[in-house]
Amino acid sequence: MRIVAGERRGARIAAPKGTHTRPTSDRAREAAYNLIGPVDGATVLDLFAGSGAMGLEALSRGARRCVFVESDRAACRVIRDNLATLRLTGALVLCKDAFQALREERAAGRTYDLVLADPPYGAWNDLEARLGEAVAAVLVPDGLLVVETAAKVEPQLPLDLVTSRRYGSARITLFSR
């Protein structure tokens, strides 16, 4: 995998070994950021971060800050290693459950311009009902939530649907608050 655009364009990034994580493909990341638009100066929350590819892409493209949330310790190490290798600043890696992190961010009054959510495809049905409400609490007005699901899944969240597109086996859906 490589960073698609921005300051670190073309740089290689590592992914956690095994099948526990499913990194977003370069093609899907590029397409997602074409839909998102410029992220210069944005604050970003990358939930279910895996390799951190989506958040790393945001930092490379000029995001001011990115908080990576991932429950798998090995994946957290990979994100930290990718940040060090790419010499990207403005990042924090939280190795914890996404909903726990969302509660803590809300309690601390922190908000985000862009929230990226790429949960395990098989877990979507269990997460969908809770995710929209939890994310809305930390999303700035007019902020974007970007959800990656399996291509056949069409997320339904209590936010405004912006667009939904299929890219191979993945679907990228954007919501706004």
Of 70, 65, 62, 96, which is closest to residue 15 (Cα–Cα)?
70
The pLDDT tens digits for 36-72 are 999 999 999 999 999 899 999 999 999 999 999 999 9
The pLDDT tens digits for 103-148 are 999 999 999 999 999 998 888 989 998 998 899 999 999 999 999 9
Q: For residue 56, give every residue at least 6 positions away whose Cβ sits within 8 Å of its Cβ, in sequence order, or none.
A: 3, 8, 13, 66, 79, 82, 83, 86, 88
Residue 138 corresponds to which tokens in the numbers above?
A: 């930390």
- One of 3.40.640.10, 3.40.50.2300, 3.40.50.150, 3.40.1180.10 is the CATH number of 26-176, namely 3.40.50.150
Query: What is the pTM for the complete model shown?
Result: 0.93
